Amino acid sequence: MSDGRFLARSDQAVIGAVLTGLRADANLQAALGDPVRLYDGETDVPIYPYAVLERHESSAADTVTKRGLEHSLHFAAYVRHGGVEATKALLGVFRGAVEALMLDLPGQQIVFVLPTYCDVLRTKSPLVSRGLLRVRLYTEEV
């Protein structure tokens, strides 16, 4: 097994690859515009609808022979008009894009990508709905 640099390299590589892959998805482009309004803290004044990577956690998931990481990605999608139904529809497109991700990561391979949680919440504004999508992703060193 290699040194601890795998952990730091993996986090940045996974975030970059996931965001790039999602932004390239044609269905997500149709839903969130082209370029896709999927942010990682890049804008303070987004145009609706949009999505944000709100959280990324990683923890060791080593096997007997390989170093691995479990990544938990938390996305939020915001829809200004259309309420819960429009937000559910957007989450369906988002989930499909996650399930279709094909990621190429240097020095590691994706074991699997799995959407694990999806929900729609109301916000303080009666016009804006917030959808949540959590994704679990496992990588291992090659």
- The C-alpha atoms of residue 104 and residue 86 are separated, in whole angstroms, by 32
Q: b/e string for 69-98 if b means 16 or more Cβ within 10 A?
A: bebebebbbbbeeeeeebbbebbebbbebb
Closest CA to 94 of 16, 25, 42: 25
**N- to C-terminal Cα distance for the chain?**
10
SS3 134: strand
Tens-of-pLDDT digits for all 142 residues of the chain?
445 566 667 788 899 999 999 999 999 999 999 999 999 976 778 899 999 999 999 988 887 778 888 999 999 999 999 999 999 999 999 999 999 998 888 888 888 999 999 999 989 988 999 999 999 999 888 8
SS3 111: strand
